[in-house]
Structure 1
């Protein structure tokens, strides 16, 4: 569809007609009104209207004795979505003027009753991402399903992380260190949000996530890298839990259904920035 639409809009007369009809939406204009505005002969206008209609960009609606030409909203959304989907790695708000996807326009209609899948990424998937998964599983209260993975999984969860979560009455039976490719494979749960929680994972190239999830970096220091006594090391894991719990508490209380994609992305990035300042 995009190829035909761009081909039709490649003519300056058709582009002007299309823009004029966009401005006149949703009522549209008759051929006579378009001729008057465009200063174009009826025969030429008819040809260009036919080309735009064949590309699926407009249609004629009978209104009494007249036909009103109107743009097809779904075609416009699809065309903008085609442009936006891969912009800046799936974050069109970074491309300058924000582009609106069809999914963004429909998102508020479905998000209120939706269960959101959230993936936390780290390098080893042994401490920070596991802790985040555990916290969201509890704090999400059925609205969120949490997952975690690593770019280079260690294959086991850090014993201090497991001990801490057990002491805080988390169910640790399902936690394991796993590769992030599991969640990019066919049949994997479709993610709504993907958060990196360590600098290494944020700087690596992630797999292409189905569904174009929203992403943010919520990096905090690696508790497993802390040296010192047993008490110092355990305190590092407790600090990790506290910082992660603070940001997840903010996240689960965001009004997701009422925020557009740009505003939501800003809030997600702010959570990571706030957490970084708190960790410093």
Structure 2
């Protein structure tokens, strides 16, 4: 172990290898194609291959095959062992001096928890999520959404679905994530990415320790066919998000510690979207 850990830290000491590792950590438990990683980080495929090989040799990631594609994911057991070793060796078994958060129960207060849903364009999926949480659990949560490159207008099919389901669309607008990073921004407790591209992008850091989850799903905006077929894709996206948000809102926040809550959030994200319609 004493030799393995320094080798792993050496591998992670390279800025671009670290960027690959961080991206896979954000996408965990997803298995991500090498080509998608290369595109997301702007790295040549041949160079990405060498980075993935180094991370795999250090046992920090693992690969699986899907047809002719190679998919990569963090080898979480190894990563946990590395972190555990650092806590014991460097922190002398005193996580309270090394971790910036408590592993105890989340303190309840009179304020509502705030949830931010991030997408790329903030025109459909994240708007759906914001609207659903506000309507069905607005007494427990403040709901927000934003985009990394927001469109100027909300998608008309999305607005049609929301209007038909009784949502107030007058309060909706496309927003940039920067609105939630300034000194006057609300404190965010939960951050969810609801499209694969948003999870791959380097989003601005948030102050504090917001719990995060990746709830990726197909983009209804990319649906092709007749207007009826396109509208059906938006109905599917709405239904998938409704199921996930219902499960999230039902979590016993006052009885789960942060680790258990993060695990529950991750499990909700693993649910197949096809089963949620």
Task: Compute the TM-score of the two structures, normalised by the length of structure 2.
Answer: 0.63
SS in 2 for 1:111: coil
| Contact preservation (8 Å) 2:119, 2:126 | yes
Q: Which has the higher contact order (CA 8 A, sep 6+)?
A: 2
Shift in Å, 1:114: 4.1
Could you tell me which residue of structure 2 aligns to residue 104 of structure 1? 102
Residue 204 of structure 2: aligned partner: 207
Over 3 Å counting, the alpha-carbon distance change for 1:120 and 1:275 in structure 2 is: farther
Offset at residue 164 of structure 1 (A): 0.8
Alignment of 1:132-211 (within 5 A): 132-211=129-208
Question: For residues 1-280 of structure 1, what are the structure 2 equivalents within 5 Å?
Answer: 96-97=83-84, 99=95, 101=99, 103-104=101-102, 107-108=105-106, 110-111=107-108, 113-276=110-273, 278=275
CA distance in 1, matches of 2:109, 2:271: 26
C-alpha RMSD of matched pairs (Å): 2.4
- Cα displacement string for residues 168-193 of structure 1 (whole angstroms, at most 9, x for unaligned residues): 11001111111111101111001000
Greater Rg over alpha carbons, structure: 1
Unaligned 5+ segments in structure 1 are 1-87
Runs of 4+ with deviation above 6 angstroms: none
What is the CA–CA distance in structure 2 between the aligned matches of 1:184 and 1:152, rounded to whole Å?
Answer: 15
Deviations 1:126-175 (A, max 9, x none): 00000000000012141100000000001111001111101111001111
Query: Is the contact made by 1:184 and 1:209 (CA closer than 8 Å) also made in structure 2?
Result: yes
Structure 1 residues 217, 102: closer, same or farther in 2, change over 3 A?
closer
Distance change >3 Å, CA 105–CA 200, structure 1 → 2: closer
**Could you state the TM-score of these two structures normalised by the residue count of structure 1?**
0.63
Q: Which runs of 5+ in 2 are unaligned?
A: 1-24, 29-78, 88-94
